[in-house]
Structure 1
Amino acid sequence: MSLSTFKAVIAIIIGGFLVSGIYISVLVVKRQGALQQIAAYNPSWEASQAASEFIRFEHRLSEFERPSSGVDKDEVALRYDILVGRLKMLNEGDFHALLWRHPEHQLTLRQLDQALVTVEPLIDGLDSSGTVQKVLDILRPFEGSLSQIASAVLNYGSEVVQKDQQELIRLHWAFSGIAAILILIGLALIGLLDRHNRLLGRAHQELHVLAHQDALTGLPNRVVLRNELGQALARIKPQGRTVAVSYLDLDHFKDVNDSFGHETGDDLLKAVADRLKACIPVHGEGHAKNLIARFGGDEFAILQTGIRKPEECAVLASRIVDALREPFSVNGQEIFIGTSIGIALAQGGVTPSQILKHADMALYYAKADGRGTFRFFEPDMDAQLQSRRALEVNLRKAITNGEFELFYQPQINLKDNEIGGFEALLRWHHPERGLVPPSEFIPVVEDTGLIIPLGDWIIEQACKEAAGWPRNINVAVNLSPVQFRNRSLVQSVSRALALSGLAPNRLELEITESVLLQDTDATVSTLHQLRRLGVRIAMDDFGTGYSSLSYLRSFPFDKLKIDQSFVREMSQRADCLAIVQSVANLGASLGMPTVAEGVETEEQLLQIQAAGCTDAQGYYFGRPKPAQDMVHTLAALRHTTKVA
């Protein structure tokens, strides 16, 4: 029974008690009133007294005619007045109400009253001959009438008393029944209260478990770890063993949820918890104790006590990283994830909140190092993190304030010896720092999700500016993996083309292999939707991934861009030259142009031409420039480069 239902039952029972009590009180008051009415006014006695007074009045009249009787006129007048008073009582209030069922008796009383009014003036003349007889003749029709009325009233009173007795008997049984019902309800209420108390006790136990245990994995939760951490820190002695907290964050867990669903994701978390238990002994050496907790989502934490040196934490972290790198079999699916770990040691009277914050900072840097690794907290991390947060704030302001601008770097068609297009590159004009290097702010933009609105602006701006170029020159825009997770990417590209009027085949979207690593089916579907818009798709940094060739089978790209790391070292390393030649030959066999990035010298240009590359891009031809400083022919480009 829920608490609201229980409250409703209690309210109904209390209401029943109140209604029953009020009902019984009303009945008792009503019956007492009826009995009091009979006792207080005694109508039958009044009626009999009126009949007796009528007889006495007639008797005194009769005795008045006998001189020896001793009855004088005053006594007769007194008896008249008493009779009139009795009749007046019979014609008033409660007695009159008792005779409502006998209209004939009411008529008799009215006639008798009129007769007495007629008799009144005759009383003073009783000495006259025949007056007494006249009065007796007027009263004779009413002889016995008052006795009949008294008898009727007596019968009515008996009926009322009998009825009240029956009503009191009924009230007695009703009261007894209600009392019995109330007793039963009280017993039921006691039973309900007892059951409710037991349920509350059980709920309290369950809430205690829920408050201290993760419902999904059964591991202790954040509350338990924090309490244990506080106690462990309080036990630390100077120059003694210390305490460490490790934060774990699963790598690519969101991709699991997106690809296989949250149910599979939950089962994976349970499997991770089981694997962590297998990796971490509950008790270490001596009084050392380890505690595994789940903080929520894909975040776990480990508390280690009795730590003598940091290497012990490093050994455990390394073991966990290796264990979680192994594949998981969940719901018939083989799933690969990993973990990043941040470790913080208790040093210098640190509080529980501080050590947890330090572990979180170290985790952030572990993920920034490429994931699948661990990092210890270092004091300068806090300053670096504060700097990053300030950078995030400035980036959000930069979008609003219009501090971003697109620069363009030319791509040279080596066959035609002309500019075939420009690659759009994002630049940030900070109001105080000037131009901020893209390598500093692009990762932050992607991590914070700002790349979504900023990426939409880049596509719209590039299409708008390219619409004013010669029609034989295209524009290339890089797409972030984060943008591909946004379902509105296709709509954003379509809107940018429509607003700018740029021909779709003049827009080239560049993606890296990391985009295809996310969700092959969904990503390939998005690429096909973009292709149906008429835009061209290029694979950027080709050759740096481990499965580049397999991606060429899943989607027919329009262009391959060879990563600059191979071009830069062609003269020193034969393997780099061989890779460039292989990619160029592969592109030629598939009918795809190949762009060599990072060409900075004439020697590199000659080498990529000999290797078979169709296009080139790099500082040799020109550095990125804003739209207003661009030229659209190679001759003009060479002239401006020489002048510069």
Structure 2
Amino acid sequence: MSLRTFKMVIAIVIGGFLIAGIYISVLVVERQGALRQISLYNPAWEAGQAASEFIRLEQRLSELGRPGSTVDRNEVELRYDILVGRAQILTEGRFQGLLERNPEHGATLRELQDRLAAIQPLVGELDRNPAAARQALDILRPLEGKLAQLASAAHNHGAALVQKDQQELVRLHWLFSGIAVSLILIGVVLILLLDRHNRLLTRAHQELHVLAHQDALTGLPNRVVLRERLEQGLAGLRAKGPSLAVAYLDLDHFKDVNDSFGHETGDELLKAVAERLRDCIPVDEGHTKNLISRFGGDEFAILQTGIRRPEESAALAARIVEALRAPFSVNGQEIFIGTSIGIALAQGGVTSSQILKHADMALYHAKADGRGTFRFFEPAMDEQLHARRLLEADLRKAMANGEFELHYQPQINLKANEITGFETLLRWHHPERGPIPPSEFIPVAEDTGLLSTLGEWILEQACREAAGWPRNIHVAVNLSPVQFRSRGLVQSVSRALAVSGLAPERLELEITESVLLQDNEATLSMLHQLRRLGVRIAMDDFGTGYSSLSYLRSFPFDKIKIDQSFVREMSQRADCAAIVQSVASLGANLGMPTVAEGIETEDQLRRIEAAGCTDAQGYYFGRPRPARDLVHTLAALRQPTEVA
């Protein structure tokens, strides 16, 4: 519906309201007139009263002077005066309508007045002349029948008026009700039209907003959106919190595509590039949020907020370079291009203009280095590389210097209310920097190839320390994807068991779904080899990957561990509670224990028990401790003298 049509409809509806309002006013006036007609019913009553008074006067005259009668001259005079008044009323006002319709009734009324005038002297002589009463009766008696007819005619006339007025009132009532209902319906229609108009305006506003903030060709946000989001991200930065990065992308050899195949093919190629960027750049990847934007031509930009390490931007850039290196099929043509990327990280009090300029400068250097690669803005790169080299050097010395230590967190069987095992956690005590979190040094160890060696040490040390625990308590060790890629994992586990003397069934290996995402068949084969050693296999962080149910079908895990992100939000989010309950039910049906991680409060404990989880783990039961400080019963763990 166009705006002009909508205005016409609104005008028609408003006009309908005005016409209906005027007509209702007319009906109200007519109804008031009908009500006034009711007052016309009074003359019928007055005629009846006049006839009654005439008979009473005759009765008093006939009883006057009769032996034993109590009627006296005063009462007769009173009745006479009343009848005179009634006759006078009938000659005035609204009774004239009846008289005009029937002249005989008018003659009867005049005759009544004449006879009343004739008996007036006789009424005055009642005390002196005993025959005066009889004479008055003789004068009045011929009028009895006529007055009765007059009263009857007045009554019939009044009844007819009542019926007519009642019919008129009913008609007006239905007209009034019909118009009122029509007004209500018109009001509803008007409200619906206004609502539709509002939605049309909202849609138009949204479309204008999209046009102002979206690239028409690719559908990606444009430069305006990127700058707005960048300024918001910079305003929300904190000194020790997550950072952000801007990456500029420029397609290599795009001009050659336009020159060789035409701009139409070039436009289709840009659309294909946008789709490929969407595929390799999730909108929300963990704690990092990404925004893809097209600046125009063959230039794109990516804003990463919430990043904690420059390596995240480097990994993303490498993924994009690799993705855009693959051939494109456009309009039946196989086209090879590539991309160069410049990355600028937010540092200090940098402004949005400065960081965009830094990214552009980095892109220039990436192109100068031969294209098909990425580069960071140099000052930030120098600082980060320097810190990384120091951490890498310290990491290589840490194992030789014995700076690593294993801590263990208890796992509780909720039904037995006892400790059934401990999860192994790695801690690094740097001699100068103090404790360094695993989230900082594990990625470096993985990138430098040190994680395989470190993983073997963790496995052997955990088995050795667990061998001294009670036989009913197991030890859980996390395995990384790097260890599975080494292909020597089975031998490492077998060696650790042999050296420590730990029973295989007391060793539980925890893997995440990221392990299964790599070479699936080889990974499953390795898992079956580990199972043949007698060790237990647990699925860790269940529900945070991609194909959990298919993995449970592919390999019979011994335990499912529910990620702590679901447990922590059970009280605030119904979907998290439903997920925990569903996983617990799934584990029960498959005969697998379910461990809820991250239990920190008694409320969380009650909730996961109600959901059906069989085991629990978290700070509520105790923080991770070194082997020398461990206790092996829940009663001892809860003693207040124990050091947390």
Q: State TM-score, norm by structure 1.
A: 0.46
Q: State TM-score, norm by structure 2.
A: 0.46
